[in-house]
Amino acid sequence: MPKPAKLVIGFFLKEKNLAVSVVKALIEKFGPVDIASSWLTFNFTTYYETEMGQPLFRRMLSFERLIKQSALSEIKRITNDLELEYSNHSKRMVNLDPGYLLRERFVLATGKNFSHRIYIGQRIYADLTLIYTKGRFIKLPWTYPDYVQQNMLNYLERVRNKYVIDLKQTCV
């Protein structure tokens, strides 16, 4: 039986004042947050600038309640719907990136197919973003640059440590 996973949702936006509303909506859908990041640097791509403007700011959240790994496609569908709620004239004001963390890996959900992504249902793919080995997260050839910045890796390490504690508590 697959172990439960730690739900992690990153989001980025141009207007920081929108973050409070986004976080409230995510808590309503997925329950309390246990670890939130400070604002993280996000300037590695121009892909979203046409739609969202610039500069873009990223936050990461992990949630108290562990999830089934098989729930990732449904969670991505929910976050896609939230993105639509926060759209203005068909342009997103926030981009939500849900994923999950296990002891050995960090996986993100995406609607975009690519050679290394695995289809998980509901038009959603799983992207193996980082692996954890020899006491640290390791990037892969396709890992987005913002997921290998030291502040992001430090954040994910804290989430992983909390996940290990959560797992012990659920198995008792």
33 is written with which tokens? 């947050």
Range of the domain at 30: 5-170
- In angstroms, rounded to a whole number, what is the distance separating the alpha carbons of residues 49 and 95? 12
Residue 25 is predicted with a pLDDT of 98
pLDDT at 49: 85
Check: CB of residue 132 under 8 Å from CB of residue 104.
yes
What mean pLDDT do residues 111-124 have?
A: 96
Residues 6+ apart with CB under 8 A from 127: 99, 107, 108, 109, 110, 114, 116, 117, 142
Q: Are 156 and 105 in contact (CB under 8 A)?
A: no
Top pLDDT among 89 and 76 is at 76
pLDDT tens digit sequence for 32-60: 999 999 888 766 778 888 899 888 999 99
Percent of the chain at pLDDT exceeding 70: 98
Supply the pLDDT for residue 48: 86
Residue 70 has a pLDDT of 97
Q: Tell me how many domains the chain contains.
A: 1
Average pLDDT rounded to a whole number, residues 73-83: 98
At residue 122, does pLDDT exceed 90?
yes
* Residue 110's CATH number: 3.30.70
Residue 2 predicted with pLDDT over 90: yes
The DSSP result for the chain, as a single string, is -PPPEEEEEEEEES-GGGHHHHHHHHHHHH--EEEE---B---S-STTHHHH-SS-EEEEEEEEEEE-GGGHHHHHHHHHHHHHHTEETTEESEEEEEEEE-SSEEEEEES---TT-EEEETTEEEEEEEEEETTEEEE-TT--GGGSSHHHHHHHHHHHHHHHHHHHHH--
Q: Report, as an integer, the average pLDDT of 149-154.
A: 94
Q: Rounded to the nearest 5°, which phi and psi values hold at 116?
A: -95, 0
pLDDT tens-place string over residues 94-110: 999 999 999 999 999 99
Q: Is the pLDDT of residue 172 over 60?
A: no
Predicted local distance difference test score (pLDDT) of residue 11:
94
- Residue 101 one-letter amino acid: L
